[in-house]
């Protein structure tokens, strides 16, 4: 097996005298589609009497393989560490939620109590959090200390859903990692509210999330309540002067803070000066500080250096101070900084380079501190169509609130156009016995792939909604489903669009477009789909996804039961 992180495993296992054992398949690049493909992992799990850790990083799991592994996990309540990062490469997003849910169910049935859960580098988006929610809210994660969700494409919606799942019960997380997730202000604020009630964080890393001072201020308020915080990484967010001031105000509560990474955070001189003042006044014993590429003037840079070297032990304590990419002044200024910082100084980007970085003004402290730079109201607080998916509607009257986009259909005054706008039996009868061919010919003129798929889904369910009222409607619906799959398959990267549109049409997730309402009866649509969902032409991933979401809704949508296994 590949090597594993011994230090992480040791720290996660409460019994220091316990021999470390587990299964590690990291980096094998295995493509596991079926239960047979997963058999080597299943055998290794079954053969491990004391499965304290399971690492599957760097392989790719399909739903069937995940279910087989989950079955093996049901017999291992001793599991403490689950490293499932980079585990769905090449998979459609529709496969990930049911695969995650299966693995979670296996651990839930086992009664495991995880200390570490790593799901980084799995681009499952907001919809993936739905597959995780049950696990995160279960007893399996009741003792979780380390949660890594780096580079998952969560977006604002995913951040909110994650915060909701974590807030379901008291938490004692020590490490939370969620970089490169497009959380923005709303997602960061939702998570900050969870952290505020936690009080146990020792490391918080949320780099590259498009967070501005509103979200930074919320995180700063949360940090105040986490007095053990030792490492804070907000690299490549727009902290700005306002955010820096909020963090400076939190520093009196953070006496254990050892490492700060605010590189590429547009601090400018004003923000850097606020931090320097707080470092000095609160005797913060930093060991590592990264303020690189922040458009800081030379005087403010010197203030930072003076503040962190004020105490006599700084030369022994400081291991890394990065100020590259700022205006450091002339060679004399840099020499002074190097003398004070010693070996910890990193004042230029290239090793051995002494390049001069200048800001807009050579005058110390005269950098433009335009508050508009970090007051990006237009980037805040709204879910947008760029989100990967919308979360499930848990209300009982879900269908009343769901609308679908028909912008791609040119509803001219023809028999087909009349049926698409008014899906009645009379209008369907006008299309004749070959209505499926007539509808297909009409819709093929749509050029935009998303609009074309949307139109075919709407047309198919408009007919399916009438299938229990007429043999003709039932026959046409049966013939439209394979046409729908075929036309969607002809479009580039259309699998996710098709899944999202079908789930919306069935009322299983919210639609992104709120301009129109569902115009078909859902009960007959479910029954009609259940008759074709196991057909050979029906994509396996789409089938699994529909059944996964139907299963989660069967208590609120009685007719969803017909699609469940």
Give all strands of the β-sheet with 22-24 in edge-to-edge order: 22-24, 53-55, 81-83, 116-118, 146-148, 175-177, 203-205, 231-233, 259-261, 288-290, 320-322, 345-346
Closest by CA to 161, choosing from 195, 197, 137, 196, is 137
Would you kindly state where each structural domain of the chain is located, as residue ranges?
262-374, 398-563
The answer to whether 296 and 327 are in contact (CB under 8 A) is yes
Helices and strands: H and E segment counts in the chain: 21, 14
User: What pLDDT was estimated at residue 150?
Assistant: 93
The β-bridge relationship of strands 203-205 and 175-177 is parallel
Average pLDDT per block of 10 residues along the chain, 565 residues long: 40 57 91 95 96 94 96 97 91 84 95 96 83 90 96 90 92 95 95 95 97 97 97 97 97 96 97 97 95 96 96 93 94 94 85 42 43 44 36 35 39 68 87 86 80 90 90 91 88 74 83 67 89 88 83 77 75
> What was the pLDDT predicted at 494?
67
CB of 505 closer than 8 Å to CB of 525: yes
Q: Indicate the angle between helix axes 39-46 and 63-73, nearest 10 degrees.
A: 10
The helix-helix angle for 522-532 and 471-489 (nearest 10°) equals 70
HEC string of 424-486?
CHHHHHCCCCCHHHHHHHHHCCCCCHHHHHHHHHHHHHHHHCCCCCCHHHHHHHHHHHHHHHH
Strand partners, 343: none
Please list the residues that pair with 345 across neighbouring strands: 321
Q: In angstroms, what CA-CA distances link 44 with 22, 53, 103?
A: 9, 12, 16
If one looks up domain 398-563 in CATH, what number appears? 1.25.40.200
Burial 50-70 (b: 16+ CB within 10 A, else e): ebbbbbbbbbbbbbbbbbbbb
The pLDDT of residue 511 is 64
pLDDT at residue 22, rounded to an integer = 95
pLDDT of residue 500: 83
Hey, which bits of 206-285 come out as E strands?
A: 231-233, 259-261
DSSP letter at 322? E
Token digits of residue 380: 């805040």
């Amino acid at each position: 097996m590949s090597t594993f992180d011994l230090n992480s495993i040791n720290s996660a296992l409460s019994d220091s005298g316990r021999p470390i054992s587990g299964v590690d398949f990291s980096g094998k690049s295995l493509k596991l589609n079926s239960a047979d493909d997963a058999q080597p992992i299943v055998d290794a799990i079954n053969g491990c009497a004391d499965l304290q850790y399971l690492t599957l990083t760097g392989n790719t799991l399909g739903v069937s393989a995940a279910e087989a592994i989950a079955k093996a996990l049901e017999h291992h309540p001793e599991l403490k560490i689950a490293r499932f990062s980079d585990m769905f490469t090449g998979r459609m997003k529709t496969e990930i939620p049911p695969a995650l849910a299966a693995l979670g169910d296996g651990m839930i049935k086992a009664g495991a109590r995880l200390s570490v859960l790593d799901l980084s580098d799995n681009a499952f988006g907001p919809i993936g959090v739905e597959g995780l929610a049950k696990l995160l809210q279960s007893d399996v994660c009741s003792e979780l200390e380390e949660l890594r969700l780096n580079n998952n494409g969560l977006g604002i919606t995913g951040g909110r859903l994650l915060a909701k799942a974590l807030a379901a019960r008291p938490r004692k997380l020590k490490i939370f990692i969620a970089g490169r997730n497009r959380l923005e202000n709303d997602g960061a604020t939702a998570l900050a509210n969870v952290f505020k009630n936690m009080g146990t964080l020792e490391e918080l890393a949320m780099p590259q999330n498009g967070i501005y001072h509103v979200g930074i201020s919320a995180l700063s308020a949360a940090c105040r309540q986490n007095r053990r915080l030792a490492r804070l990484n907000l690299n490549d967010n727009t902290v700005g002067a306002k955010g820096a001031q909020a963090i400076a105000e939190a520093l009196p509560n953070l006496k254990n803070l050892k490492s700060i990474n605010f590189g590429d955070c547009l601090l400018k001189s004003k923000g850097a000066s606020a931090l320097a003042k707080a470092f000095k006044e609160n005797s913060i014993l930093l060991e590592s500080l990264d303020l690189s590429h922040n458009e800081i003037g030379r005087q403010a840079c010197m203030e930072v250096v003076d503040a962190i070297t004020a105490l006599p032990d700084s030369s022994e304590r400081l291991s890394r101070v990065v100020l590259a990419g700022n205006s450091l002044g002339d060679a004399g200024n840099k020499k002074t900084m190097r003398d004070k910082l010693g070996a910890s100084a990193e004042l230029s980007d290239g090793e051995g380079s002494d390049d001069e970085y200048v800001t807009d003004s050579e005058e110390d402290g005269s950098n433009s501190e335009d508050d508009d730079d970090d007051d990006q109201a237009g980037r805040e607080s709204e879910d947008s169509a760029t989100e990967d998916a919308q979360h499930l509607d848990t209300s009982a009257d879900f269908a009343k609130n769901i609308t679908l986009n028909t912008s791609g259909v040119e509803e001219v005054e023809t028999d087909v156009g009349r049926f698409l706008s008014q899906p009645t039996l009379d209008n369907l009868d006008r299309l004749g016995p070959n209505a499926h061919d007539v509808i297909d010919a009409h819709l093929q003129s749509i050029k935009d792939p998303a609009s074309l798929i949307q139109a075919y889904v709407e047309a198919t369910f408009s007919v399916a909604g009438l299938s229990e009222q007429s043999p003709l409607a039932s026959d046409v619906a049966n013939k439209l489903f394979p046409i729908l799959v075929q036309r969607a398959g002809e479009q580039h990267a259309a699998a996710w669009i098709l899944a999202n549109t079908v789930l919306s049409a069935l009322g299983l997730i919210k639609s992104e477009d709120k301009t129109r309402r569902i115009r078909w009866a859902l009960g007959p649509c479910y029954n009609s789909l259940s008759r074709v969902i196991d057909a050979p032409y029906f994509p396996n991933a789409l089938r699994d996804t529909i059944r996964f979401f139907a299963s989660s809704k069967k208590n609120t949508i009685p007719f969803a039961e017909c699609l469940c296994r």
